[in-house]
A and B are shown apart, each in its own frame.
Chain A
Amino acid sequence: MQQVAYHRAASEGAALALAAAHPGAAFIAGGTDLLQLFKQGPAAPAQLIDISRLPLDRIEPRSDASADAIRIGALARLADVARHPEVRRGWPALAQAIEASASPQVRNLATVGGNLLQRTRCGYFRSPDLPCNKRQPGSGCAARTGENRLHAIFGTSPHCAATHASDLAVALLALDASVHVRRHDAAHTLPIAELFRLPGDTPQSDNALGPGELIVAVEVPVGTESRRSCYLKVRDRASFEFTVVSVAVALQIEGDVIRSARLAAGGVGTVPWRLAASEAALAGARAEPAAFAAAAAHAADGAQPLSQNGFKIELLRRAVRRALELAR
């Protein structure tokens, strides 16, 4: 482990100023991912800016003229989000995605912002010296020709096929969340889908944040869709495991007709993956098994499996069908 300078930011403004002054610094929130990356090698910041004490942890339902939404501070602990009564009522998929993540101990420390920016679990990436373009650009992608059972079938490039590991991000994508970002001299908001970057030929960068940019909150609209949402996670053991395949569903049903459907999947994409073809198949259909099966049949359209993960195609279809049944 190398030497690192540690700054505890006294305020949001101070954190942003520190970040501007120290390019290459990393924010540290719960530290549950960053410290591991630091020990294993993929992260080697010279400066750490501790944001964990900043008052960015509020969970605030809000309604204004345009829409009802919930605003979740970037430093809200996963455990607090999942147990929040409003979240459980208005956005069940969020609570379910969090409760299916990590362990209670990790969830007590881990923050929403850190969760979205956690890095892939690809074993090559997490080892200090295996060939991996994401960790060491140009060193090759050992997973492509090696162990790739848990890798992506969507959004891959010849340079990288690692999945995005967050469960919460998948639920947020299905719930049409947006992300509030600040820099010392600016602020902007982007749809969550735009936060994540496909690997392309620069797999080392996972997200669209610029240097010194801090996530301050995520905002999730509420509606009949979010209330009728659910998160299904399929995995090899009952708990404390990253996803093999997961599906988040948010349905708006009137009578027995699906007005709109939003579906996202985890464990299958290099970024949280919208299932547009399935959504299209559902819009206007009756909320019944035949429609669910038809939508599920399109869930893996365009998938490009690797040597060991072809099973995810069928598993994804089945998970979509199941998640739709559960959401209804």
Chain B
Amino acid sequence: MTMVEDRSPRRYEAALKVTGAARYEGEIRTAGMLHAALVTAPLPSARVLGIDTAQARALAGCVDVLTHENALRIPPAAFLTLCQEPVVHFAGQPVALVLAETLETARAAAASVEVRYAPTPAITALEQARATAFAPRTAGLTATDSRRGEPEAALAAAAVSLDRRYTTPTHNHLAIEPQVVLADWDGSELTVHTPSQAVFAHRTGLAKCLGLDVARVRVISSYLGGGFGSKGGAWFPCLALACLAAKQLGQPVRLELTRAQMFTLVGRRQETVQRLQIGAARDGRLAALVHDTVAQTSTYGEYADPVATPTRMMYACPNVATTHRLVRVAAPQPNPVRAPGEGPGSFALESALDELAYELDLDPIELRRRNFADRDQHAGLPWSSNGLLECYRVGAEAFGWARRPRTPGTLSDGRHRLGWGMAAACYPAYRIASQAAVGISKDGRVKVRCGTQDMGSGTYTVLAQLAAEALGVPYASVDVALGDTLLPEGPYSGGSMATASFTPAVEEAARRLRSDLIARAVADPRSPLHGQQPDQVSVADGVMRAGNRSESLADLLARVAPQGLEATAAAAPEAKPAKSFFGFGAVFAEVRVDPELGEVRVARLTGAYATGRILNPLLARSQFVGGLIWGIGMALHEKTVMDANLGRIVNDNLADYLIPVHADMPRFDIHMLTEDEPHLGSGGVKGIGMLGTCGTAAAIANAVFHATGRRIRDLPIRLEQLL
């Protein structure tokens, strides 16, 4: 393996964004547009007895108020349909939608809608109802439970065993850009402008719930100001409500969520209580792993993060059992948040391994090396590739791990204690089907068309880059169209799989176009390349060459296809893969703890990652850094605080919901290993968006232990835990 070099093209849409020329969907206005405002329930569980809208309707400029009594019917669906039933499932749930000529009127009218509720009993905290835990149908995309060998017996017989409880809190996604929709209904067709992580899925869903043919629905999402999981299915209930209103009123409707509503209406990372039992031999070899997770779900939906994935597959261990259970709480519905499952799950597993390393007086890396799994322990399949050992080596060297004294509390700098901790990271390399088209016009400009989305992570750039390279044209000559259901269907942006999914389709379309262009050149008597063998023709910088003959693509097109040419391709993963696909990494943290005052700050983070082919090191680094920052937030800051008496969130703003700020940024040292990935069929690409968040909270907590001798098992680590 070697290090990835940085030959990255610069971000495609950078100038548009820094000059404000990029039009985000929330900036789009249309004539006759109505503004919508939500009326939300203040109680976690209730029946709506009546809604008095008279006062609201009396306000000048208020056009209508939709409630369960008068809103168009939506057929029963797998998601929460709003304004269809007089039932409140969580505090903050919309019970009415006000439509008005101005946003101010809409909000004032919403405040004057009077709703009478009959409160119903509610479980408002997970621990109130641990006994009601039930097994969900799946945990993410994986099985709910798993079992191999005889874990209980192996635990009992193990030379060393640990039984620990770890907890992680509720988080919210909180992208900087709020969810917003402009639903433009012209009487027969619906055009939806909204930041979407899945334009095609949103189109299908909207068509279905409004009873329209999909061909009459178009979803456009040119730019997203972040999503992290909150602009896919989680946004759908409110998105559908706004579209329903547009159809019902026959007018365009614009709805934008407030920051506070982003805490209740677009999903959340579920709170977890995890019990992890480890049995090991004296030499550190794992004998048993038992990982049981209880997590929150809502009263009306069911979602479980795949918390135990790393426990199942990552380390060599013959006896493993994992379970996922849910408790229904009258609170918003959880859904995937960046590094769903693996994020909180790796906190427990990688903390427990650190505890085991101390128990055995072994170096934490050595312990992990001794338990390296040469194949996926859960699927029973060989790895497509697994660079974990190399990540340990490269990361440890870059970090200076060899100089780490093993005893906690021995490194200091003035009043501060320093601590060094590490953890391993893994995230599945998923792929789904994708189509793409690559075209060229007679002026030599190339256009990639793919109905995927750019979450801000660099999809525009990568699409342009892939086409430029596969076709042989300069990056600057490529234009990209994405985020529109009129384009060839692309993958949704989630699970770190978009890039791996569209890469083979774009590359194949570009190769087809290239072959077509070469075939036309060698067949055209007027081309200098006439009569050459197609496989002797190369294309670079927009010019075809064979020996000393050459012709530009533009010249050829002007002659043979002045209308331009386009090739399309589709790619899909194998139905039954013969390999197991994961990205791996190792993360190393240095923390600085004020032992008297309890303050913890992260001073350094080093990450070494092996994730297949890195298309654009600059963008990839930014993804890893972003992922690591989320890990810092998970370790030290983020927590959605619910008052259990009221069933209400009490920190629903960005002053009180802490996320890391600039002053919290450590020095980042990112190492990307190139990895040959012939098996993945994705052009060698494994996703990277989630991996930086996996393991990071554990590395930080392990570093806190190394600094202080205090093992913190409840996130976020707050200063009072260290006093």
In the complex, whether A58 has a CB less than 8 A from a CB of chain B is no
| A237 engages B107 (CB within 8 Å) | no
B-contact 0/1 string along A228-245, CB 8 Å cutoff: 000000111111111010
Check A146/B645 contact, CB under 8 A, given A123-B656, A238-B601: yes
**Cβ distance B633 to chain A, nearest Cβ, rounded Å:** 9
In the complex, whether B441 has a CB less than 8 A from a CB of chain A is no
Closest 7 CB pairs of A and B: A239-B663, A311-B720, A123-B650, A238-B663, A146-B643, A238-B664, A318-B596
Interface size class of A (residues with CB under 8 A): 20 to 34
A-contact 0/1 string along B181-205, CB 8 Å cutoff: 0000000000000000000000000
What are 20 A-B residue pairs whose CB atoms fall within 8 Å in the complex?
A: A1-B104, A1-B107, A121-B656, A123-B651, A129-B42, A145-B645, A146-B645, A147-B650, A234-B598, A235-B599, A236-B718, A238-B661, A239-B662, A240-B663, A244-B719, A311-B719, A311-B720, A315-B719, A321-B596, A322-B596
In the complex, whether A256 has a CB less than 8 A from a CB of chain B is no
Report Cα–Cα, A1/B105, bound state, in Å. Answer: 9
| B641 engages A123 (CB within 8 Å) | yes
| B720 engages A315 (CB within 8 Å) | yes
B-contact 0/1 string along A279-322, CB 8 Å cutoff: 00000000000000000000000000000000100110011011
The number of residues on chain B lying at the interface, defined by a beta carbon within 8 Å of a beta carbon of chain A, is 34
| A142 engages B645 (CB within 8 Å) | yes
The residue from B650, B660, B662 contacting A124, defined by CB atoms under 8 A apart: B650
| A130 engages B646 (CB within 8 Å) | yes
Q: Quick one: which of A106-132 are within 8 Å of B by CB?
A: 121, 123-124, 126-127, 129-131
In the complex, whether A66 has a CB less than 8 A from a CB of chain B is no
Check A127/B719 contact, CB under 8 A, given A2-B108, A322-B597: no
In the complex, whether B54 has a CB less than 8 A from a CB of chain A is no
Chain B residues within 8 Å of A130, by CB? 643, 646, 648, 650
Query: Which applies to chain B's interface (DSSP): helix, strand, loop or mixed?
Result: loop
In the complex, whether B299 has a CB less than 8 A from a CB of chain A is no
Check A142/B656 contact, CB under 8 A, given A124-B650, A234-B597, A244-B719: no
In the complex, whether B176 has a CB less than 8 A from a CB of chain A is no
**Cβ distance B653 to chain A, nearest Cβ, rounded Å:** 7
Chain B residues within 8 Å of A321, by CB? 596
Query: Which applies to chain A's interface (DSSP): helix, strand, loop or mixed?
Result: loop
Report Cα–Cα, A145/B646, bound state, in Å. Answer: 10
**Cβ distance B44 to chain A, nearest Cβ, rounded Å:** 13
Q: Quick one: which of B627-685 are within 8 Å of A by CB?
A: 636-637, 641, 643-646, 648, 650-653, 655-656, 658, 660-664
Q: Which residue of B lies closest to A313 (CB)?
A: B723
Given contacts A241-B658, A242-B655, A315-B597, 4 further A-B pairs with CB under 8 A are: A124-B643, A126-B656, A142-B646, A239-B661
Report Cα–Cα, A315/B723, bound state, in Å. Answer: 7
Report Cα–Cα, A6/B438, bound state, in Å. Answer: 57
Report Cα–Cα, A236/B645, bound state, in Å. Answer: 25
A-contact 0/1 string along B677-716, CB 8 Å cutoff: 0000000000000000000000000000000000000001
**Cβ distance B604 to chain A, nearest Cβ, rounded Å:** 14
| B643 engages A240 (CB within 8 Å) | no
Chain B residues within 8 Å of A145, by CB? 645
A-contact 0/1 string along B550-592, CB 8 Å cutoff: 0000000000000000000000000000000000000000000
Chain A residues within 8 Å of B599, by CB? 234-236
Report Cα–Cα, A319/B723, bound state, in Å. Answer: 11
| B597 engages A237 (CB within 8 Å) | no
Interface centre among A147, A234, A322 (most CB of B within 10 A): A147
**Cβ distance B145 to chain A, nearest Cβ, rounded Å:** 35
Report Cα–Cα, A162/B710, bound state, in Å. Answer: 31
| A147 engages B719 (CB within 8 Å) | no
| A240 engages B597 (CB within 8 Å) | no
Chain B residues within 8 Å of A238, by CB? 601, 661, 663-664
Check A126/B663 contact, CB under 8 A, given A237-B636, A318-B596: no
Report Cα–Cα, A315/B720, bound state, in Å. Answer: 8
Q: Quick one: which of B88-109 are within 8 Å of A by CB?
A: 104, 107-108
**Cβ distance A105 to chain B, nearest Cβ, rounded Å:** 12
**Cβ distance A276 to chain B, nearest Cβ, rounded Å:** 23
Chain B residues within 8 Å of A1, by CB? 104, 107-108
Q: Which residue of A lies closest to B632 (CB)?
A: A237
Chain B residues within 8 Å of A244, by CB? 719
**Cβ distance B507 to chain A, nearest Cβ, rounded Å:** 43
| B653 engages A126 (CB within 8 Å) | yes
| B653 engages A147 (CB within 8 Å) | no
Q: Which residue of B lies closest to A150 (CB)?
A: B656
Q: Quick one: which of A177-216 are within 8 Å of B by CB?
A: none
Report Cα–Cα, A9/B517, bound state, in Å. Answer: 73
| A236 engages B104 (CB within 8 Å) | no
| A239 engages B646 (CB within 8 Å) | no
Report Cα–Cα, A239/B661, bound state, in Å. Answer: 7
Report Cα–Cα, A126/B598, bound state, in Å. Answer: 28
| B104 engages A237 (CB within 8 Å) | no
Interface centre among B104, B636, B637, B643 (most CB of A within 10 A): B643
Report Cα–Cα, A236/B661, bound state, in Å. Answer: 11
Check A146/B646 contact, CB under 8 A, given A315-B720, A315-B723: yes
**Cβ distance B607 to chain A, nearest Cβ, rounded Å:** 21
| B650 engages A146 (CB within 8 Å) | yes
Chain B residues within 8 Å of A235, by CB? 599, 719
**Cβ distance A69 to chain B, nearest Cβ, rounded Å:** 33
| A237 engages B663 (CB within 8 Å) | yes
Q: Which residue of A lies closest to B599 (CB)?
A: A234
The residue from A127, A239, A314 contacting B650, defined by CB atoms under 8 A apart: A127
The residue from A123, A126, A131, A311 contacting B723, defined by CB atoms under 8 A apart: A311
Report Cα–Cα, A322/B718, bound state, in Å. Answer: 19
A-contact 0/1 string along B593-621, CB 8 Å cutoff: 00011110100000000000000000000
Chain A residues within 8 Å of B653, by CB? 126
**Cβ distance A163 to chain B, nearest Cβ, rounded Å:** 13
Chain B residues within 8 Å of A319, by CB? 597
Report Cα–Cα, A129/B647, bound state, in Å. Answer: 13
Report Cα–Cα, A236/B655, bound state, in Å. Answer: 12
**Cβ distance B256 to chain A, nearest Cβ, rounded Å:** 15
Q: Quick one: which of A60-110 are within 8 Å of B by CB?
A: none
Q: Which residue of A lies closest to B641 (CB)?
A: A147
